[in-house]
Amino acid sequence: MAISDLYTPKQLQVLDRIWNDDFFICGLHGAKRAGKTVVNNDAFISELLRVRRIADEQGVDEPMYILAGTSSTSIQNNVLQELYNKYEFEPKYDKHGSFVFKGVKVVQVYTGSISGLKRARGFTAYGAYINEASLANEQVFKEIISRCSGEGARIVWDSNPDNPNHWLKQDYIDTDDDMIIDFHFKLDDNTFLSERYKQSIKSATPTGKFYDRDILGLWTVAEGAIYADFDKNVHIVDSPPNNITRYYAGVDWGYDHFGSIVIIGETDDGTAYIVDGIAEQYKHIDWWIERAKEYIDEYGNIKFYCDTARPEHIADFKRNNINAIFANKSVIAGIEEVAKRFKENRLFYVKDTVPRFEDEIYQYRWKANSTKDEPLKEWDDFLDGLRYAIFSQHLYDEKHTNRDYKSTAKKLRGLF
């Protein structure tokens, strides 16, 4: 089997540089599913072999190497599980969570918060592999680099792109230092993916920030309209279909700014329609309770996914026998789910249902010149309720689909 059967041309370019040239820091960044982590996992092994050779020359019995990720779960899922699947490697952990691989002691460091500093301090490392680097706490990332002072120490990292003002891009990509190198990946660089799959992913990825980053691998500013794929000629319909099989709601509390209740009707194939709702200012909780009861009379005992900023209002809903549930408020993930549905023509608005929607959908925008991705807190009241409903129900469905799958798989195993 030729090595070209194992790696894409882009991956071979990376490995050729890692195996044959010297550097201090090498970063792989770009699109999802482009092959970054796969090649870095193998580079991790080759780096451990290199460290072991250096340690032998120096007479060092147990050289140390850092394996870093946002959490123990991310390291397990992105690195160690993949090494097990590919090479059947099962680490034997000591009481500190470290393990020996290829004759090198590998110390796990968690970069997701400043608390990771304590695991990165107090020892000399011969190198580091940092997974999901853009999600790392900057101080922890830099502490890891400072630990890598052993002979010939090198750092490799990988990341999906983020804001172009992110410290990782400014300090470790946009640099003239010859010992700091990087490789940019696009989705199309993964030649092992079928063209059909790649085209499907492209078609399903929302226009703007999400497409630029997830498909093209660009560090791009999130600017302009958030729901850029919304088209009034496509996504505004005169009436809902007759085959809606369930309803659910999103609630965004408000007083000085608009509060909202958004009613979603969904068909069996997952196509959602904004079929009812309200957006009002200067209303107290008793008024919102009465509106929710009216929707229950109309649509049944539906779930109300509520803004968690006012838990006392959620408690009031529950005391009035309203099926109130804490919404998942993940902003970027929730926006992406709503945007994806518009892109795939799986989310529609019934004309004249709530005029506030038609005001907000065109004016809801990303904050300009920000160092992180965040929407402007303007024209977002009804759309926040929409996001709570769509994303929370999506996660609920995903969880129960996985549960049903596991239950079915268990039953099938019992037949054989």
CB-based burial, 88-114: b 16+ in 10 Å, e otherwise? eeebeeeeeebbebbebbbbbbbbbee
Specify the pLDDT at position 398: 83
Please report, rounded to a whole number, the percentage of residues in the chain having pLDDT higher than 70: 96
Q: Do both 267 and 380 map to the same domain?
A: yes
Rounded to the nearest integer, the mean pLDDT of the chain is 93
251, 325: one domain: yes
> Is the predicted pLDDT of residue 232 greater than 80, yes or no?
yes
- Mind listing the pLDDT tens digit for each residue in 36-70? 999 999 999 999 999 999 999 999 999 999 999 99
- Quick one: pLDDT at residue 403? 56
Query: pLDDT (tens digit, 9 = 90+) per residue, 311-330?
Result: 999 999 999 999 999 999 99
- Tell me: the pLDDT tens digits for 153-200? 999 999 999 988 899 999 999 999 999 999 999 999 999 999 999 999
Q: DSSP letters along 7-30, please? A: S-HHHHHHHHHHHHS--SEEEEEE
Q: Which of 106-115, 364-373, 382-391 has the lowest mean pLDDT?
A: 364-373
Together in a domain, 138 and 206: yes
pLDDT in tens, 75-130: 999 999 999 999 999 999 999 899 999 999 999 999 999 988 888 888 899 999 99
Average pLDDT score over residue span 374-403: 89
Residue 120 sits in the same domain as residue 151: yes
Position 305 in a domain: yes
pLDDT of residue 165: 84
Assess whether 185 and 324 both reside in one domain.
Answer: no
Same domain, 38 and 161: yes
What is the mean predicted confidence (pLDDT) over 272-279? 98
Mean pLDDT of 409-413: 44
pLDDT at 408 over 60: no
Domain boundary at 184, 214, 244, which? 214
pLDDT score for 405? 45
Long-range CB pairs of 10-13 (<8 Å, 24+ gap) are 10/34, 10/35, 10/183, 10/185, 10/189, 10/190, 11/35, 11/38, 11/39, 13/183
| Spatial separation of the C-alpha atoms in residues 212 and 205, rounded to whole Å | 9
User: Tell me, what CATH number does 169's domain have?
Assistant: 3.40.50.300
Does pLDDT of 416 surpass 50? Answer: no
Q: What distance in Å separates the CA atoms of residue 301 and residue 293, rounded to the nearest whole number?
A: 9
On whether both 200 and 304 belong to a single domain, the answer is no
10 Å CB burial of residue 406 (0-12, 13-18, 19+) is exposed
Q: What is the pLDDT of residues 190-223, one digit of tens each?
A: 999 999 999 999 999 999 999 999 999 999 887 7
Indicate whether 176 and 47 sit together in one domain. yes
CATH code, domain carrying 277: 3.30.420.280
Which pair of tokens denotes residue 131? 């997974």
pLDDT over threshold 50, residue 235: yes
Pick 413 or 157 by higher pLDDT: 157
In a domain, 222, yes or no: no
pLDDT class of 412 with cuts at 50, 70, 90: very low
pLDDT of 406 strictly over 80: no
Is residue 20 in some structural domain?
Answer: yes
Domain that residue 327 falls in: 232-403
Q: What is the pLDDT, as a whole number, of residue 77? A: 94
Let me know whether 284 and 314 are in one domain. Answer: yes
Could you give the number of structural domains in the chain? Answer: 2
